[in-house]
Structure 1
Amino acid sequence: MDKSWINKPRLSQDYRLGVKHFLDFAFTRSNANMMKCPCNRCLLTKSLSRDDIEGDLMCYGFLSSYTSWILHGEEVCITGNTRLPSDVNESELDSTLNL
C-alpha cells in the first residue's frame, strides 16, 4: 500500500485522499467503532472514532514512524531472519499472530 502521502502537506489533495484510504482500509478490516489514533498528538495511545481520527490526522499529521499499520489491519511479515527482542515471549507472539 502506498504510504508516500504521509509526509505530504496536510492541505494537499494527496494527503486528504491518503487519510481517506487509510481509514477505509483500517475500518473495513475491523468490527470496532474505535481504533488507536496514529496522529502526532495521540501517538497510538488513544482510541477514537473514525471521524475523530480523521480530524486529528488533518490537524496534527500522521505519525511518520508508523510505517507498518499492524494496529490497523496490515499483516505482519516475519521472515526466518527476524530477531525478536529478548523480552518477547515467542509463544505469546505466535498466538497473537494466529500462527
Structure 2
Amino acid sequence: MSASKDREWMYKRRNSQGLLCSFYQSKVTEFLNFAFSIERVVERKTLGSNIVFRIKCPCSKCKIKVFKKRDDVEYDLWHNGFIRDYKTWYAHGERRSKRPEIGKCPIEDDNVGGCRQYLIIHHKGR
C-alpha cells in the first residue's frame, strides 16, 4: 500500500444513519492484512501455550501505544475509528516521506524570494 493512495475512508466509518459503513469495514480488513504482512511491525508473543501476533492499535483511544491482536484492533477501529491524521501508516510498515510537500503549499502568489514558502514547508513537518 502506498501513502499516496486515498485514505479519506479512514475517517468516514459511519453512514448518514450512524451505522458502520461496509466500505469502511472492508478497508479496515485491507489495512489489517497489510499491517500483519509486515514482519517488523508484528509482535510475536507467547501466552500460555499459544503464540499470539499483535500490532500497535491505531484507534483513537490506543493511539499506537498498545499492542493488540487482530480481532481486538479490528473491534477498536470499528468502534473508535483511527487516530487523526494517520494517512501514512508509519507504525505499520509504511515509510514517512522525508521530502517536504512543495506541491501542497498553501501560498502561491504571496511569496517574496522563496522565504515565506520555505518557512511554511519546513514548519509543516514539525
TM-score (norm 2): 0.58
1:6 aligns with 2:6: no
1:64 and 1:5 mapped to 2: Cα distance?
Answer: 12
Q: CA deviation at 1:71?
A: 0.6
Q: CA deviation at 1:20?
A: 0.6
Unmatched segments (≥5 aa) in structure 2:
15-19, 43-52, 101-120
Question: What is residue 93 of structure 2 aligned with on the other side?
Answer: 73
Q: CA deviation at 1:50?
A: 1.0
- The secondary structure found in structure 1 opposite 2:72 is helix
Question: What is residue 90 of structure 1 aligned with on the other side?
Answer: none
The code of the aligned residue for 1:72 comes to: H
> Larger relative CO (CA 8 A, sep 6+): 1 or 2?
1
- The secondary structure found in structure 1 opposite 2:84 is coil
CA contact (8 A) 1:6 1:64 kept: no
Unmatched segments (≥5 aa) in structure 1:
86-99
1:49 aligns with 2:69: yes
Count of residue pairs the alignment pairs up: 85
Higher strand content, 1 or 2:
2
TM-score (norm 1): 0.73
Q: Output aligned runs, 1:10-89, within 5 Å.
A: 10=14, 11-30=20-39, 32=42, 33-79=53-99
Q: CA RMSD in A?
A: 2.1
* Identity of matched residues, %: 35
